[in-house]
Amino acid sequence: MNMAKAIRQINKSTPNPVEEQMQAVTELMNAVTANKDALITTIDIIKGLNEMGVLDAAKAMLEQRTDIGAIAIQQLNQPNMHNTIKNGMNALKFIGSINPEQLQSILNGVTQGFERSAEVVKNGENQSLWKLGTSLRDPDVKASLSTMMEFLHGMGEAFNQDPQQGVH
């Protein structure tokens, strides 16, 4: 009966630093070759950012990050900034609640109204009271006045539902 011999010596192979370095260089070169186009594009982007001074600014900001962070926190901690943040969030909520088609229609009307009023000012036309009165029969003026009146009704309803919101 043969019994296995006890292992008395363990041969540790220590990696050769030169071989490790050569293997690392080979792996890097393979990665560079495989991603040549992406690397060239990245270098072009970095070059452009450097020419614009963005990299210098970013480096300076990183070096002064503690001071910049302290200033930013001081600015954000002012009472008016709290209102600004809340108002900004309310404005975003409001914009999100608007039907895009309705908003586009209103903005088109505002644009066209500005163009017409600029034309009148440019031509130096003065409206007589009689002409203003007769323009109330114009279908475009009626449509605009109706829209404004409905807007005022809707805003008044909102104010009456929550008196804290309105100014009356």
Cα 89 to Cα 27, 60, 100, 106, 162, distances in angstroms: 50, 31, 19, 23, 20
User: Phi, psi (5° rounding) for residue 96?
Assistant: -70, -25
Mean pLDDT by 10 residues, the chain (168 residues): 68 78 92 93 93 91 86 83 89 90 89 87 81 87 91 89 66
pLDDT of 167: 58
- Helices marked H in the chain — which ranges? 17-34, 36-52, 54-63, 65-76, 79-97, 100-123, 129-134, 139-161
Every domain of the chain and the residues it spans: 19-63, 100-161
Full-model pTM: 0.41
Q: Which residue in the block uniquely carries the two structure tokens 């070096």?
A: 63
> For residues 124 and 154, what is the distance between their CA atoms, to the nearest angstrom?
36
pLDDT of 70: 86
